Every structure is written in structure tokens, then in C-alpha cells.
Structure 1
Amino acid sequence: MNSRYHLESHTIEMPKVIIGMHAIEKLRNVVTCFGRRALIVTGRSAMESGRVKIIEDKLKEADVDYVIYSNVNPEPTVSQAEELAKYINKIVEGPNKIDLVIGFGGGSSLDMAKVASLASANPKPIRQYIGVEKVSRKGIPLILVPTTAGSGSEVSKSIVLAIEKEEIKDAIVSENVMADVAMVDPYLTTTMNPKLTAITGIDALSHAIEAYMSLSANGFTDPLALKAISLVSTNLRKAYSNGSDIEARKAMSEAAMLAGLAFSNAGNCAGHAAAYAFAVKYKVPHGMACGISLPYVMKFNMLAIPERLADVAVAMGIRSEGLSMRELAQLAVAEVIDLLMDLDLPTTLEEVGVPEEDVVKLSEKMLKITRLIELNPRRIGPEEARKIFKIMWHGDVETKI
């Protein structure tokens, strides 16, 4: 085992979490602790479908006034975050100023709600906060309500944004963007279609496995990551095939939250760095991109942490009797690919339209996400990054890397 595991000190950070069936019913009691006027940040789909009405109704019951910002797109960009920040500057002062922010929706809506809270107390351009702990002040109170089960944004301290000019993703990572309260109600996820269920569920799995591989994994995050892996492995196929299976939905909501806590306190590693490199240019949804990169990064890390990947296999339900750590690790990689195929998700870069000639450039972009590369248990330099991207394109996990 890498000598860094569990030896360094860690500060554990998390919001208050209200989780379970009908958790949203408690919103009317929660909001009154923070103020009398709220900003709801949500996506267009939540507005068009009328799903946001559940938040509006709870605020009306609590006699809390509100305004809605719904100009949120999937995979938000820095420029879209800047646009929201300008809007926030107009409504945080004066007689009708907002007292709190409520994020409602998938990971993109929750991340943009974090931007809204951040911008209320931090005047610099949003681009300047990308990186680790660059946000100096906590913004106005923030309540996050996920309607998907995957991003873990409701409990994480990160905001993922696409940087358009560079065609890459990166994140604002700070305890000052973390929610004050996360409200996780599995019933809110039952409207997800099978494709979105698959993409978000794989996102949760990638968070859990990468947090377990991360060099900042610790005694707090390890059990959370393993439990999340177990829940996804047992329930994602069920939720995908039957969206009305409330037990599977409940398990996936729990998995996403646990994985979010795990990666927020341990960090992701090379899988996310690789995904950030190609997702923007080729318009690949975040969870799908992470799913593509995950098995190949697991394969790459097998030399450094076979015992940890063996743990992943056991958490996935693979029987360990008579198998070596390396054999179990190989089965964990195979199980991830099997799961992707069962969910009709791509397993190679070729499938999402990445030209083979772009592999080298993408591998160079991957190395720019140093905060994630540095947490990978096996060193990744230019040659290693190229090898990872080559096998990601071809889809050959048997290739030695």
C-alpha cells in the first residue's frame, strides 16, 4: 500500500444533511432559520415540467418570498457563472434583497446555486476562484435539493465549470461554497429517465472509486466510498430498468450523497482529470465522461494499489475466495465495463466521437489538472497520460500500461 494512505491529518467538512423519503417536507421549517426572501436556482427543465412548484409551495407555506433564476444549462460554463454573479450583485442589496439561495435540480443547478451564494460575498470574477481554497468568504445561506442521484454536489465543496476558451473543465474547491443544508429526498429522483439515471449513477460510482483510490483517502472517507460502491453495484441496474423502484431510487440517492462526502473529503484523481480533458470539446455529459475514463484509470492504478482495487471488487459483490488481490482488482475493472454496457453507456473515446489523432493533445490537457493528478496513487507523466488516452480510445483494458 502507498505509504501516504491514512498517515496525514485531515479536516472533515460536510453540511447538515436531511435525507430520506419526504425529506423535502422539512424545507418550510429549514428556510425560516435563514431569512424571509429566497432565490431559487434551477434549470429550464424543472421550470417547464413544473417540478419546481414543490419548492415554491414549501416557501409559500413558510411565508417566505422568492424569486427564481432558471437560466441554468447542463454542464455550466465560466461565462454563465459570471452572468449569474452579475445578477446576484443586483439582488443582494436594497429593500428586496435575498437572504438565502435554494438550489433545486441536478448537479449543474446545484453548482450554479453555489455560484450564487459565492458571488453574494466575493466580488472577483468567478474565473479567479477556480482552484483550491481561493474563496475567502462564505456567502449567504445555501440549501441544496438534488433531483438526480449522482453528482453529490449537495454535500461537496466544489463547483465544476467548463472553461470555454481552453475547452477543458476545472473546479472551484472551497469549504466556503459548501451548502449549509442538503435535503436529499429520493422521491424527487423518480422522474429521471433511464439515460439520465445511468449517467448520474455512473458519476456517483466514479466519485466513490476515485475517492477510494485517492492519496487523500482516509479513515472517514473509506467506509463512505465502499458503501457507495456497494449501493451503486446493487441498485443502479434496478433503477435504470424500473424508475418506479423506490427502494433502488432511495439506495442511489444515498450512494450519491455518500460518494459526494467521500470525494469532497478525499478528492478525486486521474479519472476526473481525464474526463475534464475531453468532455467540453466533444460535448460529453460529465457522468458519461467519468464513466469512460474510470475503468482505464483503475487498470492503470492496479500496479500501485491492487489491495484497494480488490476492496472495490468485494464492495461490488464479487466473491473473493481463492482469488489473489490482482485477480480481484482485474475483476473490479471488468465489472465497471460490464455495468457501463448494461446501461448502454459508451466505454471508449471512439464511441463519443473523439478522433484518434486528438489523443496526444487530450493527454496533455489531462496533466493540466494538477490538483487531481497529484492525488493519483501512481505517478502520471506525459508518457503515462498518452498511454491512458490511447487505451481509452481503443477500449483495450488488457493492454499493459
Structure 2
Amino acid sequence: MSLGSLKMPGCVYTGAGALDQIPVILQENQVKKIALFADKGVSDAGLLAVPISNIEKSGVPYTLLNDLPPEPTYVQAQKLVDQCKEIHADFIVAVGGGSVLDTAKLASVLMTDAYDVKALLDNPKLAEKFCKTLMIPTTSGTGSEATPNAIVAVPEKELKVGIVNERMIADYVILDAAMVKSMPRGIAAATGIDALAHAVECYTSNKANSFSDLFALEALKRILSSIEKACDDREALAEKESMQIASFYAGVAITSSGTTAVHALSYPLGGKYHIAHGVSNAILLAPVMRFNEPACRQRLAQAYDYCFGADPQLDTAAKSAAMIGRIEEIVRHLDIPADLKQFGVTMDDLEPLVEAGMGVTRLLNNNMRPVTAQDARDIYRQVL
């Protein structure tokens, strides 16, 4: 078992009416001006209404910053960060999916002219926190509200890159199922599978430890029992709340452990082809886990026992296979593409994908089974 550490947001609220804690948070921090991060999708969906109502109850002025595209490049993230610097806010509230939360986290450590987003890509250790943050996720998947990571696209490398610094961990998090109730099925499915990947990868990572195991296993159990109904049934609030908590737990597991080859090989798909992060993870999850299975069979079997109960009629290999089979079943049920054909990716793209994926050593080093270029090539071929 690897050395473990546990770093989490300072305070997390969940349950019905959790959003009503916003005025309390602002008051206890004596906030004078708020930078409210969102995007046009969040705004158009009406998801800002309750957070803004609670901000207005506090009497604290705010400026809405929502000019952020999905899956932003580091230049686009920098643009919103610069807008934040100009308003001289002393507190950041972020309402949205992973891209919004990640950009807000970057802004919290970029209230300075000493470095910018590009500099953090080269050296994340430069980051120093200047502004407290409150994260309110509107999806159940990225876990960004719990992690010290900010993911941005780097077009010149045709890759997504993670900036990781513990100073970006949120000070406050609010998990309120009302914020995810109206998620379209496709978004709920893709982000939910992202959380599933986080849980499975962190549990089968070289960096897995007693802390990450605790959160990864509970996240996995919740997701396997809740994700289908949470996506299929708009009124399934109990399952949606369970997915929201599972996403947070999986984010905590990332902070303590780390994702592996699924995420490493998916980053080029987002960076070059702009495939949604959760979709690219879903396409690669089962193929990578089948590749990894010989090296993490015992762990997958233990996960099976935790999630479904010990079955004396199944041996370790059968439990491991059943776990991967259940993952494949969920991806099929949620109608996520099984390959890359509809995204315009062809065999001509194979070698650039392999080169880019093999460059994500930060995550490949976590993989229990070493991944060679030929291994990556074989995995990509399965989904082309």
C-alpha cells in the first residue's frame, strides 16, 4: 500500500437546502465583492437563479463572468481569469461543470502578475492562493469541486493538460441535488461515467492507499447502483443525490491517489478532436481495464465484493471479469458511443494519438500495468 495523504475542501454542505448556506459562508468570510464564475449553458438553463438569490440576500455585490466555452484552452481560461483580476473580487463562487470550476480554481491562484496560466502549465508549483472559493457543481462527474486539478486544452500540443497544486482545493463546496436535476441525459451519462472512471482508476492506481480506497470504493458502489436511474429518470432525486456525492468522493480519491491510463489516453481525444471528456473516458474505460486486468485482478475482485457482496461461487478471476462486464453494460445502457468513428477519428490519426497519449507520463506512471507505445496503439485500434 502506497503512502497516503488526505487533502479535502475546508467545508462541504450537502442535502436539501444546502444552497441556503451561501449567505452564511459570505458573512463568516466578511466578503466585500464576489466574482461569480459560470458559462452560458449554466446561465441559459436557469441554474444561477437560486445561487444568485442567496448571494443577493447577503447584500454582497457580484460580477458574473460567464464567457467560457466548453473544454476551454489555456488562452480562453486566461481571458476569464484576467476579467476576474480587473474587478478586484475577494471571493470566488463557481457554478457549473468541470471547466467552470477548474477556471475558477485557476483564478483563485492568479490574482497576481507574477505568473499566468501558461506559466503554471510549465511549473504548477508557482501557484499561491489569493482568493477563497466556493464550488457549486451542476454535473455529477468531474469531481473538480474536490480536486487540486485544473484541466485546460493546449492546442499547440493537441492535448489536454492538468495543472495540479493543492492550493487550488476549494475552501467551500455545496452539493445540492436541485443543481443536477435538470441535466440532459447525455451530459448526465458522460459526466457520470467520468466519475466511474475516477473511482475505478484511483482504486487500481499505483498510488492507491487506505484513504483513496475508502473514497474510491464508496464512490464506485454508489455509481454502479445509481447511475442508470439517475440518468434515465428526471425525478430520481435520491439517485441523483447519490451520484453527486459519489462524484465528490471520487474527486477526493483523485486527490489522494490519481487516475491512470484511461485518462492519459483520453486527453489527446479532447485536445485534438474536442470530444467531451466524459465521452472519451467512456470509450476507453473498458478497453483499458481489460488491458490492466491481469495486473489488478485482485483489486477488481475486492471491488466486486464491496459493491455487490461476496459470492463464494465466484473466484477472483470471475469477479474481476464481472466488474469489467458491469462497466461495459452501463456504458451500453447510457448510449455512449463505443468507438471514435462518429468523431472523425481514423486510422491515419493512430500514430499522433499514440505519441500524444504516451506523453501523459504523470498519469501513465500510476498505471499498475506498464503501458508501452505498442500497448497504447493496440488500445486505440480497438476504438477506431
CA contact (8 A) 1:316 1:332 kept: no
CA contact (8 A) 2:110 2:127 kept: no
Q: 1:295 aligned to 2:286?
A: yes
In 1, distance between residues paired with 2:110 and 2:302? 41
- Residue 74 of structure 1 is matched in structure 2 by 70
CA contact (8 A) 1:203 1:290 kept: yes
- Residue 6 of structure 2 is matched in structure 1 by 12
- Residue 140 of structure 2 is matched in structure 1 by 149
Match of 1:43 among 39, 43, 58: 39
Deviating more after overlay: 114-123 vs 214-223? 114-123
- Residue 272 of structure 1 is matched in structure 2 by 263
- Residue 184 of structure 1 is matched in structure 2 by 175
CA contact (8 A) 2:68 2:80 kept: no
- Residue 33 of structure 1 is matched in structure 2 by 28
- Residue 226 of structure 1 is matched in structure 2 by 217
Counterpart secondary structure, 1:104: strand
Change (3 A) 1:358 1:316: farther
Change (3 A) 1:264 1:122: farther
Counterpart secondary structure, 1:281: helix
- Residue 80 of structure 2 is matched in structure 1 by 84
Give CA-to-partner distance per residue, 1:50-86, whole Å, 9 cap, x none: 3212121111111111111011211111111121222
Deviating more after overlay: 121-130 vs 328-337? 121-130
CA contact (8 A) 2:65 2:84 kept: no
- Residue 374 of structure 2 is matched in structure 1 by 383
In 1, distance between residues paired with 2:316 and 2:114? 51
Q: Which amino acid aligns with 1:14?
A: M
Q: How many residues were matched structurally?
A: 382
In 2, distance between residues paired with 1:379 and 1:389? 16
- Residue 396 of structure 1 is matched in structure 2 by none
Structure having the higher helix fraction is 2
Compute the displacement of 1:315 (Å): 4.3
In 2, distance between residues paired with 1:351 and 1:331? 29
- Residue 22 of structure 1 is matched in structure 2 by 17
- Residue 312 of structure 2 is matched in structure 1 by 321
Give CA-to-partner distance per residue, 1:236-272, whole Å, 9 cap, x none: 1101110111111111111101111111210111100
- Residue 3 of structure 1 is matched in structure 2 by none
Compute the displacement of 1:46 (Å): 2.1
Q: Which amino acid aligns with 2:20?
A: E
Give CA-to-partner distance per residue, 1:129-170, whole Å, 9 cap, x none: 126742331120111001111111111110011111221101
Q: 1:369 aligned to 2:360?
A: yes
- Residue 398 of structure 1 is matched in structure 2 by none
In 2, distance between residues paired with 1:131 and 1:146? 28
In 2, distance between residues paired with 1:251 and 1:72? 28
Q: Which amino acid aligns with 2:178?
A: Y
CA contact (8 A) 2:203 2:212 kept: yes
Q: Which amino acid aligns with 2:173?
A: A
Unaligned runs of 5+ in 2: none
Change (3 A) 1:388 1:130: same
- Residue 130 of structure 2 is matched in structure 1 by 139
Counterpart secondary structure, 2:144: coil
In 2, distance between residues paired with 1:143 and 1:389? 38
- Provide the TM-score with structure 2 as the length reference: 0.95
Give CA-to-partner distance per residue, 1:288-339, whole Å, 9 cap, x none: 1111111111111111111011123334537633222222212222211111
Change (3 A) 1:200 1:7: closer
In 1, distance between residues paired with 2:302 and 2:70? 34
Compute the displacement of 1:357 (Å): 2.5
Compute the displacement of 1:201 (Å): 0.7
Change (3 A) 1:261 1:122: farther
CA contact (8 A) 2:101 2:145 kept: yes
Match of 1:59 among 55, 61, 72: 55
Q: 1:252 aligned to 2:219?
A: no
In 2, distance between residues paired with 1:136 and 1:125? 9
Change (3 A) 1:391 1:320: farther
Q: Which amino acid aligns with 1:243?
A: R
CA contact (8 A) 2:109 2:127 kept: no
Counterpart secondary structure, 1:32: helix
Q: Which amino acid aligns with 2:321?
A: Q
CA contact (8 A) 2:68 2:77 kept: no
Counterpart secondary structure, 1:17: strand
In 1, distance between residues paired with 2:300 and 2:383? 19
Match of 2:119 among 118, 128, 132: 128
In 1, distance between residues paired with 2:45 and 2:290? 41
Change (3 A) 1:240 1:132: farther
In 2, distance between residues paired with 1:154 and 1:296? 28
CA contact (8 A) 1:135 1:176 kept: no
Q: Which amino acid aligns with 1:33?
A: E
Q: Percent identity?
A: 29
In 1, distance between residues paired with 2:15 and 2:143? 15
CA contact (8 A) 1:43 1:72 kept: yes
Counterpart secondary structure, 2:151: strand
- Provide the TM-score with structure 1 as the length reference: 0.91
